[in-house]
Amino acid sequence: MKAAKLYNFNDIRIEDIPIPEIGPGDALIRTHACGICSGDVMPWYIEKKALLVIGHEPTGEIVETGEGVTSFKPGDRVFTHHHAPCFTCRFCRRGDYVQCETWKNTKIIPGGISEYILIPRINLENDTLSLPDTLSYEDGTLIEPTACVVKALKRAGIRRGDTVLVIGLGFMGQLNVLLARKYGAGKIIGADMVQFRLQKAKELGADEVIDVSKNNLIEALKELTNGEMADVVIVGPNSAEAMKQGIGSTGAGGKVLFFTPAKPDEKLILDPNELYFKDINIITSYSCGPTDTADALEIIESGIVSAEKLVTHRFPIEKTAEAFRLTAEAKDSFKSVIVFE
């Protein structure tokens, strides 16, 4: 089978590798589509994992099941998460699945951008979902990224009527815009420097947008909010400077959520008294777990999130490197999907 292997950020090769052999409790899918994650185009983040078959947002059709599998059968259309928790450790009991050692160590084999994928027993049992006939395989590739936003917005605890600022309007920023209203936002403001993204955010429900290539973010936000600033700020860019701006954009009693890590060599210097006396809370949200993917599937079924709204580019596996370059450019594109014949 063909698979896309990343040797380094600028070296992605399509190679022929053996189809994985399944064992008891496993399943094998023929891949139909796999999204490209914005996290995968952060060079420092993805290169530390090389050599790997890239992609972790796949959907496909089960073609074979191992001994003892009863929950799925050949012909089933599924989404599978690349990590799955044990459900029994202290982190899982708290619903903090991403800290579970089993979650950290599980994976799909060999990766999402390959013609066939082995779903190990624990992934199959603990975070694989059947795709309803009403959804396309491309819709299914949005489950994992949507689940990351679901988890983040749950953590942010938006109160009904809150003003929400989304900094960074790439694909994940657009998902935050789309879902902020569902979670209670009264006013949604988006900020970016790319006109294509600013316009798309307005189409998807942002009440106001700030072009930070032309305006100072904090001053523009003051004007839009009569000086009150935002109740909840979601910081998308992997930048300590963006995080600092996010804190500065948060009003008294508000919350700022770091949706993405900063680059490894960056430090964030804080004035603790600014946080203390303004009662500002800093929240983080990393990845997602099974409760989030289940909620994400429901949201996609409702039509709030769909491939029709968000997928802008489709590529065959042979053009995976081109798809990654387009995503990394962060200009006139949102979601790129690798589509298999």
Indicate if 147-284 has the same CATH topology as 2-142+306-339. Answer: no
82-140 pLDDT, tens digit each: 999 999 999 999 999 999 999 999 999 999 999 999 999 999 999 999 999 999 999 99
Let me know the angle formed at the C-alpha of 160 by 155 and 166, rounded to the nearest 5 degrees.
Answer: 55
| Residues in a beta bridge with 262 | none
Distances in Å between the alpha carbon of 193 and those of 167, 169, 170, 179, 335? 10, 9, 10, 21, 18
* Contact predicate 230/189, CB 8 Å: yes
**Is pLDDT at 46 greater than 90 in this prediction?**
no
The domain 147-284 having CATH identifier 3.20.20.70: the answer here is no
Which H or E run contains 241? helix 240-248
Pick the closest to residue 15 from 7, 31, 3, 27 (CA basis): 3
List the chain domain ranges.
2-142+306-339, 147-284
How distant is the alpha carbon of residue 95 from its chain centre?
19
Let me know the angle formed at the C-alpha of 339 by 336 and 341, rounded to the nearest 5 degrees.
Answer: 165
What average pLDDT does range 290-317 have in this prediction?
A: 97
* Contact predicate 169/178, CB 8 Å: no
pLDDT given at position 40: 85
Pick the closest to residue 148 from 98, 217, 216 (CA basis): 98
pLDDT given at position 329: 87
pLDDT given at position 330: 81
Pick the closest to residue 187 from 149, 169, 161 (CA basis): 161
pTM exceeds cut of 0.85: yes
Pick the closest to residue 4 from 58, 79, 64, 77 (CA basis): 58
254-289 pLDDT, tens digit each: 999 999 999 999 999 999 999 999 999 999 999 999
**Is pLDDT at 341 greater than 80 in this prediction?**
no
What average pLDDT does range 166-173 have in this prediction?
A: 96
pLDDT given at position 142: 98
Collapsing DSSP states into helix, strand and coil, what is residue 152? helix
Task: Write down the architecture of domain 2-142+306-339 according to CATH.
Answer: Alpha-Beta Complex (3.90)
Distances in Å between the alpha carbon of 289 and those of 126, 286, 295, 301, 334? 10, 10, 10, 19, 24
